[in-house]
């Protein structure tokens, strides 16, 4: 049966919503400011705002994995594919722990800035990061990261850290340190959904289920622009798209932990999917693999 104009309009509207937008509420400017230090704020084109922290996928009907089942699930992919939010929701739906490896690289960048280390001094960066003994507080949801015994989860989202983290993440010795730490974390948390650029390709090549999330550069640029606008910044779609293409080129061509679709990974293009559709797709794949 052909769609009615009403259903078509509603489908068009759904398709035009930002990927991360799980629940839309209209808020005032002051509420936006209150939201500003939350992990992420997204808005639709009418200016309605949603926070991922408030919005939750209704996962009550989604089966969890048995408590005695050890499993590592990896989610790799470029920036703007929603890896982090998807990984967190998938972990919650399955009853698993969630590891945000980007937070570890961000922590190294924060340490570099706050300990006044020369960003070109790779040895000093690695030394100080090792001394910082990065670890997570697993009693929090999502787990918060600590360095030198103190929580730094807010610090790692600051603009100066965001700017420095990409070059820091290319330091080979730092990556080796992070890979070791991530493997130790997986031993301590054997029921884990872990996300990053290299989780399925380098860190856990034998993971039970490996995903690679992708989306077209245009869609990823639009999502990024929506986030910037929602947090009060201006956004130029053309230059954001160019930056994304440039970052993809750098990430894919770096010597250590290059961004790539890992072998045997399930590739999911999120360009035309809503957030819920992505999480449910991954959830279905996991259940199929573990035979439930
Ligand atoms: O996902 P994110 O934006 O928090 O990641 C921060 C930076 O760290 C980003 O430049 C990608 C990099 N990163 C990485 O190189 N390897 C990982 N496993 C995770 C993140």
Angle CA(80)–CA(83)–CA(88) in degrees, nearest 5? 140
Bridge partners (DSSP) of residue 147 are 150
Residue 107 C-alpha to ligand 1 middle, in angstroms? Answer: 11
Tens digit of each residue's pLDDT (9 = 90 or more) over 49-58: 233 333 467 8
Instruction: Report residue 30's pLDDT band, with 50, 70 and 90 as the boundaries.
Output: very low
Q: Which tokens in the block code for residue 217?
A: 């550069």
Residue with the two structure tokens 């779609």? 237
Over residues 182-226, the pLDDT tens digits come to: 999 999 999 999 999 999 999 999 999 999 999 999 999 998 898
User: What backbone torsions phi and psi does residue 245 show, to the nearest 5 degrees?
Assistant: -65, -40
Q: Please confirm whether the linkage preceding 142 is cis (ω < 30° from 0).
A: yes
Residue whose tokens read 């035309």: 272
Q: State whether the beta carbon of 132 lies less than 6 angstroms from ligand 1.
A: no
Mutate to test the pocket of ligand 1, among 87, 104, 111, 197 (most ligand atoms within 8 A of CB): 197
**Which region among 12-21, 158-167, 174-183, 248-257 has the lowest average model confidence (pLDDT)?**
12-21
* Residue with the larger pLDDT of the pair 34 and 10: 10
Most confident of 17-31, 93-107, 232-246: 93-107
Nearest ligand 1 atom to alpha carbon 162: 6
Residue 161 and residue 147 in contact, taking contact as beta carbons nearer than 8 Å: no
Length of the chain: 292
Q: Output the six-digit token pair for 157.
A: 């989202």
Quick check: helix, strand or coil at residue 53?
coil
State the Cα–Cα distance between residues 232 and 49, nearest whole angstrom: 12
**Residue minimizing CA distance to atom 8 of ligand 1:** 102
71-272: CATH superfamily: P-loop containing nucleotide triphosphate hydrolases (3.40.50.300)
Residue 169 C-alpha to ligand 1 middle, in angstroms? 7
**Rounded-to-integer distance, Cα 196 and Cα 193, Å:** 10
DSSP annotation of 155 reads G
Does ligand 1 have an atom closer than 6 angstroms to the CB of 102? yes
Burial class of 173 by CB neighbour count within 10 A (0 to 12, 13 to 18, 19+): middle
* Mean pLDDT to the nearest integer, 79-101: 95
Token pair recorded at residue 50: 């949603």
Mean pLDDT across the stretch 43-70? 62
Winning range, highest mean pLDDT, from 40-49, 144-153, 224-233, 246-255: 144-153
User: 3-state DSSP call for residue 258?
Assistant: coil
Report domain extents, the chain: 71-272
Distance, in Å, from the CA atom of 103 to the CA atom of 41, rounded to the nearest integer, reads 18
Cβ proximity of 190 and 70 under 8 Å: yes
Mutating to test ligand 1, I would choose from 142, 143, 169, 181 the residue with most ligand atoms within 8 A of its C-beta, which is 169
pTM over 0.85: no
């Amino acid at each position: 049966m052909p769609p009615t104009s009403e259903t078509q309009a509603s489908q068009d509207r759904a398709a035009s919503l930002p990927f991360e937008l799980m629940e839309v509420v209209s808020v005032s400017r002051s509420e936006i400011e209150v939201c500003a230090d939350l992990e992420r704020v997204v808005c639709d084109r009418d200016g309605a705002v949603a926070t991922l922290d408030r919005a939750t996928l209704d996962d009550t009907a989604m089966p969890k994995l048995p408590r005695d089942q050890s499993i590592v699930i990896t989610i790799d992919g470029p920036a703007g594919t929603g890896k982090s939010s998807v990984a967190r929701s998938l972990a919650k739906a399955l009853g698993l722990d969630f590891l945000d490896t980007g937070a570890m690289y961000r922590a190294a960048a924060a340490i570099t800035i706050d300990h006044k280390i020369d960003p070109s001094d790779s040895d000093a960066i690695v030394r100080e990061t090792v001394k910082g003994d990065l670890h997570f507080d697993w009693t929090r949801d999502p787990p918060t990261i600590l360095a030198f015994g103190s929580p730094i989860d807010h610090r790692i989202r600051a603009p100066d850290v965001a700017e420095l983290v990409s070059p820091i993440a290319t330091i080979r010795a730092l990556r080796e340190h992070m890979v070791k730490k991530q493997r130790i974390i997986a031993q301590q948390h054997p029921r884990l959904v872990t996300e990053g650029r290299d989780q399925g390709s380098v860190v856990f090549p034998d993971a039970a289920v490996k995903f690679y999330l992708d989306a077209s550069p245009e869609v990823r640029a639009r999502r990024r622009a929506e986030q910037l606008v929602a947090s009060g910044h201006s956004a130029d779609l053309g230059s954001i798209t160019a930056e994304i293409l440039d970052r993809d080129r750098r990430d894919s061509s770096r010597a250590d932990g290059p961004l790539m679709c890992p072998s045997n990974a399930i590739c999911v293009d999120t360009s035309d999917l809503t957030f819920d559709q992505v999480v449910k797709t991954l959830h279905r794949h996991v259940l199929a693999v573990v035979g439930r």
